[in-house]
Structure 1
Amino acid sequence: MDFDFNLILVPVTLILFVVWLLDKLVFKERKSKGRGNEKAIIRWAYDFWPVLAVVLCLRSFLYEPFNIPSDSMVPTLETGDFILVNKFDYGVRLPIINKKIIDVGEPERGDVIVFRYPPQPSISYIKRVVGLPGDHIVYDHGQLIINGQKVSKTPIKFSREKDILDTPNSLYYKEKLGDHTFTMRELEGVNVASQAPFLKYVNGEKFVAQNGQYWEVNVPKGQYFAMGDNRDQSADSRFWGFVPEENLTGRAFYIWMHKEPGFHLPSFSRNGSID
């Protein structure tokens, strides 16, 4: 999720629009020479500008496709999943600069969000919202506690051949955040939080003394705390900090295709909504 297609789509659409407008108002080649006899650039402007404008509006303000390049959201999302992201839910934003121009709504706890990676905004990340602005989050030896309330976490049996082969020490749980109930994975005997520089900075010696088994954060105004569903194989807010509101792209809501890396045909067996 490291390339913004709008970086190409926006300038090409604008150039063709300018050419179309100039021909309409100044050159008038299509009108004088007839369709098919004008310069190629003018013909392209008439043929492609309306289509590109529609695509740009759809991608920028309504829905944008992304593909999943890593396992940080397993088992909810897998490498090779192609997803749709709702761009409208969190406000209408201008393409490329991501400036909000119309306020529509805000992320809810448990939403799966796509956002611009704070240390490098040209890269898009996908994680689940754990903490909202103003929340107090505590992690106590495997248990998440938000604003004094324990997050529901129930062990379940969950297996897929690929998961068993890749990570034989996987433990699966049903977790509930807000209105979302989903499956998340931890690795037995692994505590990735013990290596998290942001948590170490926030919690100091207490964090080090307990090897990352206990930590807490207060989520600032206009910021979100996000984590991957694959808890021990996810570089998320525990490592690099909060997600600013201005970095939000949208809410992931549907898997529309899956394709394994390499020479494999697309599959639609994983199609469905994202909880």
Structure 2
Amino acid sequence: MEFDFSAILLGLTVLFGVVWGLDRLFLYKKRKARLDAAGDEYRDPVPVDWARSLFPVVLVVLLLRSFVAEPFRIPSGSMMPTLDVGDFILVNKFAYGLRLPAFNNKFVDLGEPKRGDVVVFRFPGYLCQDGGALVRSGDMSCNDPHAPVPSQNWIKRVIGLPGDSIEVHGAELLVNGQPVTADEVGPYLGNPQRSVDQIMLNMGATVWTEHLLRKDGSAVNHTIARMPAYNVPNSIPNDRVPSKVPAGCYLVMGDNRNDSLDSRWWGCMPEQNLAGKAFLIWMSWKGLGTGGVDFSRIGTVIH
């Protein structure tokens, strides 16, 4: 079942605020006068008491999640080895501007993503052909181009900025005609008891340090995984994804390069879908019998 927690928090905040506010405006004085006249101790009705007590709590949680930091859990291995399955991360919600909760409309601009940033965003949908036009669909097979796009938060790394020319051919990545270099670290070392690690170990995954240059010439040095035996990813450009990144859009890829469903398949990520910038691992749970809490990852800054 899919749900938007921000929308639920917003709805509860409005509900509790309306119940409490209307009661204080129209019912409180008459009720209090009646009870005082009868010599009874004043008490709010149960619904009003709940609304009065929960409204400030829910409001504070909504404001913190919407404008300061929001927690997310990593559900898949597409960002390994940078982010592991079971990592709990914090996302900076004001890194790229302030947005209305639930609606995600930006009302204060505080900057834009940089090449190399790890971002959380609402999945825009798969690119599908519909009568000669490309449309966004929730159906990966594109059998139903008009299938609703699920409301899901995804996490990837920004590779291409608006106006950039991006080419991807297997493990080779070029940004504006310049190859992105990477140094091999060694074979991937994981826990064979975990299925996600077992796949990478069986496929001979290797770990590399990639050097992704930003516009100012500084490099974002981060780890990626390669395992060509597992999957051959789409190239860019292809019949649905051009090499030039459109305005107001970003090309994003997972650090687990051969096991990531990203812009190579569904195109650019619209700026309006941004949720924020991932910056910290605050908890890491590997599962019962396969590591439990991984204390070594707690407090890791995400690069």
Which protein shows a greater Rg? 2
In structure 1, list runs of 5 or more residues that go unmatched.
204-215
Correspondence for 2:175: 146
- Given candidates 225, 239, 252, the residue that maps to 2:265 is 239
SS in 2 for 1:44: helix
The 1:20/1:154 distance shift into structure 2, 3 A limit, reads same
Checking the alignment, whether the CA contact within 8 Å between 1:87 and 1:250 is kept in structure 2 is yes
Where do 1:242-261 residues align within 5 Å? 242-261=268-287
Alignment pair present for 1:200 and 2:238: yes
The 1:37/1:8 distance shift into structure 2, 3 A limit, reads same
Correspondence for 1:49: 55
Distance 1:81 1:31 in 2: 51
- Given candidates 179, 199, 205, the residue that maps to 1:166 is 199
Checking the alignment, whether the CA contact within 8 Å between 2:211 and 2:222 is kept in structure 1 is yes
Correspondence for 2:222: 182
Correspondence for 2:78: 72
Distance 2:288 2:8 in 1: 25
Correspondence for 1:209: none
Where do 1:211-250 residues align within 5 Å? 217-250=243-276
SS in 2 for 1:138: strand
SS in 1 for 2:296: coil
Checking the alignment, whether the CA contact within 8 Å between 1:199 and 1:239 is kept in structure 2 is no
- Give the aligned length: 261
SS in 1 for 2:54: helix
Checking the alignment, whether the CA contact within 8 Å between 2:157 and 2:255 is kept in structure 1 is yes
Correspondence for 1:268: 295
Correspondence for 2:139: none
SS in 1 for 2:162: coil
SS in 1 for 2:43: coil
Q: Deviations over 1:33-53 (max 9, x none)?
A: 598721111111221111111
Question: TM-score w.r.t. structure 2 length?
Answer: 0.79
Correspondence for 2:109: 103
SS in 2 for 1:201: coil
Deviation at 1:158, TM superposition (A): 5.1
Deviation at 1:139, TM superposition (A): 2.5
Letter paired with 2:302: I
Question: TM-score w.r.t. structure 1 length?
Answer: 0.86
Checking the alignment, whether the CA contact within 8 Å between 2:185 and 2:207 is kept in structure 1 is yes
SS in 1 for 2:297: coil
Alignment pair present for 1:133 and 2:166: no
Correspondence for 1:212: none
The 1:141/1:98 distance shift into structure 2, 3 A limit, reads closer
Deviation at 1:190, TM superposition (A): 4.4
The 1:157/1:2 distance shift into structure 2, 3 A limit, reads farther
Distance 2:112 2:259 in 1: 27
Letter paired with 2:268: F
Q: Deviations over 1:105-158 (max 9, x none)?
A: 100000000001011251111000000000001224522111122212111125
The 1:26/1:112 distance shift into structure 2, 3 A limit, reads same
SS in 1 for 2:79: coil
In structure 2, list runs of 5 or more residues that go unmatched.
126-148
Letter paired with 1:172: V
Checking the alignment, whether the CA contact within 8 Å between 2:188 and 2:200 is kept in structure 1 is no
The 1:265/1:26 distance shift into structure 2, 3 A limit, reads farther
Say what the alpha-carbon RMSD is for the aligned residues. 2.5
| Residues 183-192 or 10-19, more deviating | 183-192
